[in-house]
């Protein structure tokens, strides 16, 4: 018997789909039913006869010679050692970092999505979550239970291993050292994977995005090792057979439902890569590429806003989509294939959005979800990146590709050129040699991305990123959080106030929803209610309860700010309203953050104002919350007298989950406010004496309430 809860959940999903989207929803549902109905009892392998027909040769024995002569250009010329040496000459640390990682891979010691180093034995756990121990059987993917709210296993762990990012590392090690042991390990691992994961069987064939990312990484790894003696004719034939199987799967299982997501874009990029790389001869067209390019042209204006931002309300997924489209665009250019007007128009805007969002340390503010996802991870120090994503590296690659060195002016760390060098080599027109960064800590450049609701204010060497985005994904909220009006604050390379990230998805339903909740963001919770209702059984949806208005405050180089209002619609026509004002105060070396709110009813308007700190020492000094770093600059949150109600300040031990699967403790300041208004000045200072002066001056001033919002810009 179906429970009332299940029925309510079903109808809440039905109501969340706009009428115009139902044709797309129904088409995808019919495709999914067809996948189930057509599932075979044995894997649909590509036969020798089909393989020779695809590549236009008379016999399979001619395949390797013809493949070498087909005229497809890759990112580097053979042998790969020349490109590897160019990278290592420019970035000397690359060699030692890669070879150290390669040594771990040779003995099957892996660290996947927070698992920690795990010794996996002779056979890698392709279908097992090494964190929980759960293993999926090798049956048709339509028969698998991928997600279980009670079981505690995480499908992303085997998916990540089977994306084969580590195979590219093995290839890079071979190209740097010339030692066949790395190429041999790649060959053995892939042969083992083929045996354990036949087409359409097992969890690693559960969606086309995983197949696409795997294909791109396998192509890169193969190109790096293909001159090794360990790569024989028989392996090359099986490798090409596997690529054709990957392409056929993607074409037949496109994730084209509503709302469109990064999965669908990855599917199309995968087909473009396979259609280009597997072209049977010079000038020939495989149907995968033209089909995918046509669909990409149709989908990009849906998923990319006119200001170049991704529509899923996540800066991390904006980066992932930009990365996959950028690498795909370069591959098309190398093979003299027109990218299409939408890709050509939108990709520079997407990279420009990264340039505006990027923090001085080369990271992005974490608005919405972050699962550490990558298309390619060509850099050798991925493990040292805060999220596992390389925003500065992608930005450098884009700057080189489009000759836009200005995109890098606001990055204060050394240039991250590894990816650019692997892709472009030492080409003086696109190799990054003339790109520089770190122009000035006081560069006064701001970023407004109103379609996504992302704003960055820079003043006095400080970086303030404000989130005014709605649910994203056409209101469905795939990767959105309840982070409206939240923000991140940095001074130079020091993070002060941060978004805690996402931590985990399906492996822990409670943690997933906790990290999406209002209290996990530096914003105001009214009456204990969420900004948007969180469906307990729907990990990739939020109820679309909130509307936002944004007003950019005018000012000169010394005074600038932003004001955002959210209206959350409750039951019975009641509304929560919260207005937050950010204003730069040069005399305080900080920001006024003024809040005013009203609840759906007079009895439930109490406010809790949260401030999430990076992993810094933090104390409460009366009602002031401040960091206690031994060196460098510190932050003080100094309340202003705007509500005539003394707030109560407490420090709680919270968590950050910047990198998927990794959890770390971090302090959270919570102000309990009985009234309906609250304000602090977030002051950055060097010495305690400076803090004392700031505190007295702020206490002596009369502060206005946050005025009502005046903007015409609305983000749903």
pLDDT of residue 643: 56
Residue 1, H or E segment: none
Q: Is the pLDDT of residue 80 over 90?
A: yes
312-367: pLDDT as tens digits: 999 999 999 999 999 999 999 999 999 999 999 999 999 999 999 999 999 999 99
d(CA 151, CA 353): 39
**What whole-number percentage of the chain has pLDDT above 90?**
82
**pLDDT-above-70 percentage for the chain:** 93
Predicted confidence at residue 708, as pLDDT, reads: 46
Q: Report d(CA 703, CA 595) in Å as an integer.
A: 12
Q: Does residue 661 contact residue 711 with C-beta atoms inside 8 Å? A: no
Residue-range domain boundaries for the chain = 22-298, 304-439, 447-617+639-681+692-715
pLDDT at 400 over 60: yes
d(CA 180, CA 182): 5
Q: What share of the chain is helix, strand, coil (3-state, %, to 5)?
A: 40, 20, 40
Instruction: Say yes or no to pLDDT of 531 above 90.
Output: yes
pLDDT exceeds 90 at position 61: no
Decide if 367 contacts 467 (C-beta within 8 A).
yes
In degrees and rounded to multiples of 5, residue 490 shows phi and psi of: -130, 155
* Residue 444 pLDDT: 46
pLDDT band at residue 676 under the 50/70/90 scheme: confident
Whether the per-residue pLDDT at 434 is higher than 70: the answer is no
Q: pLDDT confidence of 1, banded at 50, 70, 90?
A: low
* Helix intervals (H) in 416-481: 418-424
Q: How many residues does the chain have?
A: 716
Q: How far is CA 410 from CA 293, 438, 543, in A?
A: 34, 6, 36
Query: Quick one: angle between helices 288-303 and 341-357, nearest 10?
Result: 50
pLDDT of 558? 45
- Please check whether residue 376 is in contact with residue 327, taking contact to mean a CB–CB distance below 8 angstroms: yes
Distance CA 239, CA 304 (A): 34
Q: Is the dihedral of CA 654, 656, 657, 663 positive or negative?
A: negative
Mean pLDDT of the chain: 91
What's the Cα-to-Cα distance from 575 to each of 50, 597, 604, rounded to whole Å? Answer: 62, 11, 11
> What stretches of 425-520 show up as alpha helix (H) in DSSP?
509-516
Q: What is the pLDDT averaged over residues 679-692?
A: 94
Question: 126 near 193, Cβ under 8 Å?
Answer: yes
Q: Report the b/e string of 638-653 with b at 16+ CB within 10 A.
A: bbbebbeeebebeeee
* Interval 625-658: pLDDT, tens: 999 999 999 999 999 876 566 789 999 999 999 9
- All residues at 6 or more sequence positions from 49 whose CB lies less than 8 Å from its CB, including other chains: none
pLDDT of 612-629, one tens digit each? 999 999 999 999 999 999
Q: pTM here?
A: 0.95
Q: What is the pLDDT of residues 357-395, one digit of tens each?
A: 999 999 999 999 999 999 999 999 999 999 999 999 999
Are 524 and 510 a contacting pair, CB within 8 Å? no
Domain 447-617+639-681+692-715, CATH: 2.70.98.70
Q: Are strands 546-553 and 607-612 parallel, antiparallel or unpaired?
A: unpaired
Residue 709 CB-half CA count within 13 A: 27
Output the DSSP codes for 213-262.
Answer: HHHHHHHHHHHHHTTSTTS-HHHHHHHHHHHHHHHHHHHHT----SS--H
């Amino acid at each position: 018997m179906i429970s009332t809860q299940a029925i309510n959940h079903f109808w809440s999903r039905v109501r969340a789909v706009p009428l115009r989207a139902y044709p797309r929803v129904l088409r995808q549902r019919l495709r999914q039913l067809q996948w189930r109905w057509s599932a075979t009892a044995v894997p649909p392998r590509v036969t020798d006869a089909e393989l020779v027909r695809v590549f236009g040769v008379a016999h399979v024995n001619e395949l390797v010679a013809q493949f070498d002569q087909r005229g497809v250009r890759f990112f580097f010329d053979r042998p790969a050692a020349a490109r590897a040496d160019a990278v290592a000459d420019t970035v000397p640390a690359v060699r030692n970092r890669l070879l150290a990682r390669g040594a771990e891979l040779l003995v099957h010691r892996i660290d996947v999505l927070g698992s920690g180093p795990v010794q996996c034995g002779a056979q890698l756990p392709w279908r097992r979550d090494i964190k929980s121990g759960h293993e999926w059987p090798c049956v048709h993917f339509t028969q698998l239970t991928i997600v279980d709210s009670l079981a505690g296993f995480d499908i992303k762990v085997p998916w990540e291993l089977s994306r084969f990012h580590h195979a590219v590392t093995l290839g890079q090690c071979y190209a740097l050292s010339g030692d066949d042991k790395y190429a041999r390990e790649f060959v053995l691992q892939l042969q083992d994977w083929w045996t354990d994961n036949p087409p359409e069987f097992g969890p690693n064939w559960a969606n086309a995005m995983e197949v696409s990312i795997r294909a791109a990484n396998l192509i890169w790894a193969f190109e790096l090792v293909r001159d090794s003696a360990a790569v024989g004719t028989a392996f090359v034939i099986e490798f090409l057979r596997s690529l054709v199987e990957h392409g056929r799967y993607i074409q037949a299982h496109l994730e084209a439902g509503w709302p469109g997501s990064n999965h669908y874009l990855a599917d199309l990029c995968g087909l473009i890569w396979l259609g280009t790389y597997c072209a049977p001869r010079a000038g020939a067209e495989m149907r995968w590429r033209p089909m995918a390019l046509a669909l990409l042209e149709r989908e990009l204006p849906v998923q990319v806003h006119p200001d170049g931002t991704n529509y899923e309300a996540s800066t991390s997924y904006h980066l992932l989509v930009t990365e996959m489209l950028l690498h795909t665009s370069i591959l098309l250019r190398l093979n003299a294939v027109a990218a299409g007007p939408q890709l050509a128009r939108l990709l520079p805007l997407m990279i420009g959005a990264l340039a505006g969002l990027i923090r001085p340390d080369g990271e992005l503010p974490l608005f919405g979800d972050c699962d550490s996802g990558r298309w390619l991870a060509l850099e050798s120090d991925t493990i040292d990146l805060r999220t596992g994503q390389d925003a500065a590296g992608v930005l450098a690659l884009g700057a080189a590709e489009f000759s836009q060195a200005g995109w890098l002016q606001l990055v204060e760390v050394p240039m991250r050129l590894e990816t650019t060098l692997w892709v472009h080599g030492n080409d003086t027109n696109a190799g990054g040699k003339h790109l520089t960064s770190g122009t000035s800590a006081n560069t006064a450049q701001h970023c407004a991305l109103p379609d996504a609701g992302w704003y960055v204010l820079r003043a006095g060497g400080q970086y303030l990123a404000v989130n005014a985005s709605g649910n994203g994904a056409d209101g469905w909220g795939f990767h959105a959080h309840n982070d409206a009006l939240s923000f991140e604050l940095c001074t130079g390379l020091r993070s002060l106030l941060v978004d805690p990230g996402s931590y985990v998805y399906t492996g822990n339903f409670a943690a997933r929803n906790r990290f999406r909740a209002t209290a996990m963001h530096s914003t105001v919770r009214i009456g204990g209610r969420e900004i948007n209702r969180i469906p307990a059984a729907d990990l990739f949806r939020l109820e679309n309860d909130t509307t936002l208005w944004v007003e950019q405050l005018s000012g000169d180089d010394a005074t600038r700010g932003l004001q955002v209002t959210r209206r959350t619609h409750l039951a019975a026509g009641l509304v929560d309203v919260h207005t937050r004002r950010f204003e730069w105060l040069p005399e305080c070396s900080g920001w006024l953050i003024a809040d005013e709110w009203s609840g759906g009813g007079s009895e439930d308007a109490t406010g809790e104002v949260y401030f999430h700190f990076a992993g810094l020492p933090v104390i409460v000094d009366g009602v002031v919350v401040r960091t206690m770093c031994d060196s460098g600059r510190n932050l003080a949150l100094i309340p202003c007298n705007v509500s005539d109600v003394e707030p109560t300040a407490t420090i709680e031990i919270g968590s950050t989950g910047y990198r998927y699967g990794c959890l770390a403790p971090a302090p959270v300041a919570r102000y309990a406010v009985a009234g309906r208004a609250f304000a602090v000045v977030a002051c950055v200072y060097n010495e305690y004496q400076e803090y004392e002066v700031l505190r007295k001056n702020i206490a002596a001033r009369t502060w206005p309430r946050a005025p009502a919002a005046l903007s015409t810009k609305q983000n749903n």
